[in-house]
A and B are shown apart, each in its own frame.
Chain A
């Protein structure tokens, strides 16, 4: 039950980061947190043969997403560094 609550907390933090991102890297981190929340929730449900595949899939998806996201960040830094920050007026 505790793990379940923990995953809900993680999901709230991740969704907050996704809905109100301040920069691109923060947005990527928020997506990672959401994926982690889903994985934790699946673990809290109990790992069976049907869930194990999904958990591994999610971990792989997280890795792939991060790799793609960071590649995008590198390209954005090269071509349009001013667009990395979504809210320059706050900084």
Chain B
């Protein structure tokens, strides 16, 4: 136990110092980049060392703070799984960044920010006291803001980063309210203390405040608009953002709250309804997008919806398992999309990416693995986790038909847009191949391909071999290995059939589409869905109205409050002064002065007499 404490504390403090010191790095410095990579490698080693020590909950206090509160780290099975995922994904993303940002003069700064992002996410994962969790929560918001807006030349990045931080602020305000309510109810912010009080369940209002925070961070409807917009960020940022950090923070909070939320509460029904709605809307949007990164982004929102539903139906371990498998294949897909766009001069449109991997069979293979894992094809990552969530919901909530159908339709749509990506990217169009550009980018692609291959390997093993460490420690009764596959095959045959059918259908339709060149004209409903149901435009409209109100108030302030009110006070004071002056002058007249004096003496006498009676 002592070794666990020392490894965890030392890693956290080293991470803190390293991320703060490297944030100062502004110039292109290979030594700093090397140090960052070594530190990340150390982080992976720490995660590997810590991984077997997850049998019991461990608490490590860092220091006392503000009365009864103290800042502590905790380590349990959830922390272990997430630390492992974060360490591997962030290391691969860092290696990828070496190649992706090769020609950027602020590469060191970029890598430092990635490291800071990773460290803050780790703080969220291992924070025991919720004040420390809030520090990490804010840290990932700030670092995501800086990373999304990293390319300063592009005005879209500035807007996207502002949108991300503003929507995250809504969640943060709700989280602060939840903290205050938790202190009022449990008199502590220590997770280990209040999560054990299962007889004293969380107040409904607190649970809903937490729900706002979770949905803002995990980009669930209606607070999802920031995530598709943030796709203008560099590919490594998108990979880290979607796979292991920002969007998963909400799910982590939900997993932690699971113990103290009643199983029959309205909170769970609301989560199921909103997440089902999110899955349907986002899957439809993903299918019709033309930007490859946006397709994957909408897919992330839908997959996080699966995780939220899993927690809400009581399958916390399955949510964690899906988080684990999804983290690997989604990071891999984003990195592949980044590599494809680099080959097409940073063009992310799917039409421009046709045939991008026509001469690279390794990347073709990696793309197939990632897409199969996303679609839930048997034997790949998504099958093991997602299909099991659907199976659980089918058998444990039979009365909620809408939930079951949304999960099934979502799975089918996932297979469809996965197949669409594959069909378009693997289309052999020789006229698009830019030999000169490919030759030029051989040096930078070396690191990128290395990272993608590493993540592909992780994607392959995360599903079948991940269930033992992830599920095994959480639920000893869970079927494993071949037994699990047999059970999933017997129960989840509908989803399996849907996935395979739609993949075949989509490949066939893509083939037809290629022959007929394009479908013109496009139906209007497609435009509506592609524009995210005009939800973004609606928020912009609300923002403009707010701005109008603010300028109207500012005009009112400047014209009325700042000019008329001081004048009124000024005139009032003048008038009162004149009145006093007049009264004094009147009192100074001899006949009136005697009367005033007599009146004063009588009044004083009455006052004194009344005081003595009392």
Contact = CB atoms under 8 A, between A and B. Distances in A.
Interface of A: 19-20, 22, 49-54, 57, 87, 89-91
A54 B557 contact: no
Contact of B67 (A19, A52, A91): A52
B560 interface: no
A90 B558 contact: yes
B66 A90 contact: no
B67 A90 contact: no
Contacts of B550: 19-20, 87
Contacts of B557: 22
B545 interface: no
Given A19-B550, A90-B554, 13 more contacts: A20-B550, A49-B67, A50-B67, A51-B67, A53-B66, A53-B67, A87-B550, A87-B551, A87-B554, A89-B551, A90-B551, A90-B558, A91-B558
B555 interface: yes
11 contacts: A20-B550, A20-B553, A50-B66, A52-B67, A54-B67, A87-B554, A89-B551, A90-B551, A90-B555, A90-B558, A91-B558
Interface string B542-585: 00000001110111011000000000000000000000000000
A91 B557 CA distance: 11
Interface of B: 65-68, 549-551, 553-555, 557-558
A20 B67 contact: no
B188 to A, nearest CB: 11
Going nearest first, the 9 A-B pairs with the smallest beta carbon separation are: A50-B67, A53-B66, A90-B554, A53-B67, A20-B550, A87-B554, A20-B553, A22-B554, A54-B66
Nearest to A56: B66
A51 B68 CA distance: 10
Contacts of A52: 67
Contacts, number: 28
Nearest to A16: B553
A49 B66 CA distance: 9
A50 B554 contact: no
Contacts of B553: 20
A34 to B, nearest CB: 12
Contacts of A57: 66
A54 B550 CA distance: 33
A38 to B, nearest CB: 11
B550 to A, nearest CB: 5
A20 B549 CA distance: 9
Contacts of A49: 67
Most-contacted residue by chain B among A50, A57, A89, A91 (CB, 10 A): A50
Contacts of A90: 551, 554-555, 558
A90 B562 CA distance: 13
Nearest to A53: B66
B389 to A, nearest CB: 41
A87 B558 CA distance: 11
Contacts of A54: 66-67
A44 to B, nearest CB: 16
A57 B65 CA distance: 10
Nearest to A19: B550
Contacts of A91: 558
A33 to B, nearest CB: 16
Contacts of B554: 20, 22, 87, 90
A49 B557 CA distance: 42
A35 to B, nearest CB: 13
Nearest to B558: A90
Nearest to A54: B66
B570 to A, nearest CB: 22
A87 B68 CA distance: 44
Nearest to B67: A50
Contacts of A50: 66-68
Most-contacted residue by chain B among A53, A89, A91 (CB, 10 A): A53
B131 to A, nearest CB: 11
A20 B553 CA distance: 8
Nearest to B187: A50
Most-contacted residue by chain B among A20, A57, A91 (CB, 10 A): A20
B360 to A, nearest CB: 45
A20 B552 CA distance: 10
Contacts of B66: 50, 53-54, 57
A90 B558 CA distance: 8
A22 B552 CA distance: 11
Contacts of B558: 90-91
A57 B71 CA distance: 15
A55 B67 CA distance: 11
A89 B553 CA distance: 13
A9 B91 CA distance: 50
A87 B65 CA distance: 41
Contacts of B65: 53
Contacts of A19: 550
A19 B67 CA distance: 32
Nearest to A48: B67
B553 to A, nearest CB: 5
A8 to B, nearest CB: 15
A7 to B, nearest CB: 15
Nearest to B559: A90
A57 B66 CA distance: 8
A52 B67 CA distance: 8
A43 to B, nearest CB: 15
A87 to B, nearest CB: 5
A22 B66 CA distance: 35
Contacts of A51: 67
A52 to B, nearest CB: 7
A17 B404 CA distance: 47
A54 B65 CA distance: 9
A90 B68 CA distance: 48
A57 B67 CA distance: 11
B293 to A, nearest CB: 30
A22 B557 CA distance: 10
Most-contacted residue by chain A among B66, B549, B551, B553 (CB, 10 A): B66
A58 to B, nearest CB: 10
A49 B65 CA distance: 12
Contacts of A89: 551
B367 to A, nearest CB: 44
A10 to B, nearest CB: 18
A7 B66 CA distance: 22
